Amino acid sequence: MLLIRPIVASDLNALKQIAIESGHGFTSLPNNETLLSGKIEKAENSFSSDASTPGDQSYLFVLEDTGTHEVVGITGIEACVGTAVPLYHYRLETINNQCASLGVNKSINTLTFCDDYAGASEVCTLFVREEYRKQKVGQLMSRVRFLFMANHPQRFSNKVIAEMRGVSDSEGNSPFWAWLEKNFFGIDFPTADYLVGIGNKGFISELMPKHPIYVSLLSKEAQAVIGQVHANTKPALRLLEKEGFQFNNYVDLFDAGPTVEIPLQDIRSIRESQSCQVQVTKTAEISKVTETAQAQQSYFICNDQVKNFRAIASTEASYEIDNNLLIISQTLATALLLKTGDYVRFLCL
């Protein structure tokens, strides 16, 4: 059984392994034990908090194989970004120059340094170990964040963003950063990426060009990757696009990967999920209901708790529309820390 739950201190070794496997460009998981331990501590404090507004909370969820007790995936939400520490981007813009006397019209693309996303919530840190990338596990790890946000909207901003990993090679070299490194920074991409991951962002404001950059002046290789995602990130982007996230011409400073955004209430999983009470019963009784419906429906279900949040995908459930009641098996109830009468949120898969 695959169970999604909040991260805890005992998950540190698993998180270290995931940080290694995620590779260069996965800025939110630096390969640094002290920092990873700090991320876990912050997440534990966030889940334990009684937050009524979005603030400096960071929610990390892990995917656990309950058969082996192995952590095989991670996903997260930052409640409010860009306030305590700026969240810098490039804004891709177009300048239209005209010369009426010569009959010349020229459109010029520029990249402008900005921090326009201050105050937004961010979904981030989605990674599933390779052997578990099947049976829509990545989809569940993406969508679980939205079920949690639907249950606790007061903890999050009205605008939600996701920064997508840009193009880089197996050695961690970014064509976009190569141009910036040569002209402005003098440090390689893995080093810059690591510095951001450990929270050392001062060099960005000190060395980044303050005036708009003309895209046409970049190398052809750098121009080609603006707004493009890493091959390993394409599935994650497709999942977010299905949720309604859209690219609004903001890209990452280092690898030019796209940032996508959406209003919280417009997220598909939030709009389509339902909240109701549960009734715990035997698996056999659920099977009879399913046979009557002539189809076996799979559900993605979570409880409505924070610190003891649990989520799982299962066929051991049946929804009674007339009574607005979700019937679940005892096995499922135990995994989700539920009893008859408790409330859940669910999606039909």
H or E element that contains 191: helix 189-197
Report the candidate in 62, 57, 58 with the shortest Cα–Cα distance to residue 19: 62
Q: How far apart are the first and last CA of the chain?
A: 17
Residues 52 and 145 in one domain: yes
Phi then psi dihedrals of residue 286, to 5 deg: -65, -40
List pLDDT tens digits, range 242-283: 999 999 999 998 899 999 999 999 999 999 999 999 999 976
Choosing from 249, 268, 287, the residue where a domain stops is: 268
Residues 55 and 161 in one domain: yes
**Structural tokens at position 245:** 């996230």
Cα Rg of the chain (Å, integer)? 22
Stronger pLDDT, 148 or 296, i.e. the higher one:
148
69 catalytic residue (yes or no) = no
Residues 61 and 209 in one domain: yes
Q: Which residues pair with 250 in a beta bridge?
A: 91, 259
Choosing from 268, 298, 314, the residue where a domain stops is: 268
Q: From CA 174, how far away is CA 24, in angstroms rounded?
A: 10
Q: Cα 88 to the chain's mean position, in Å?
A: 18
Residues 162 and 182 in one domain: yes
Say if CB 168 and CB 230 are below 8 A apart.
yes
Domain residues for the domain of 246 are 2-87+116-268
Please determine, for residue 291, whether its predicted confidence score (pLDDT) is greater than 60.
no
Residues 190 and 277 in one domain: no
Q: Which amino acid is at 127?
A: F
Q: Whole-structure pTM over 0.85, yes or no?
A: yes
Q: What is the CATH number of the domain that holds 336?
A: 2.40.40.20
Q: From CA 326, how far away is CA 301, in angstroms rounded?
A: 10
Please determine, for residue 294, whether its predicted confidence score (pLDDT) is greater than 50.
no
Domain count, the chain: 2
List pLDDT tens digits, range 165-222: 999 888 778 899 889 888 888 777 777 777 776 667 777 777 777 789 999 999 999 9
Residue 94 backbone class (left: φ over 0; alpha: ψ -120 to 50; beta: rest): beta
**Structural tokens at position 159:** 């605008």
Choosing from 252, 268, 284, the residue where a domain stops is: 268
Residues 199 and 295 in one domain: no
Of the residues 24, 89, 211, 230, which is catalytic?
230
- Identify whether 95 is part of a domain: no
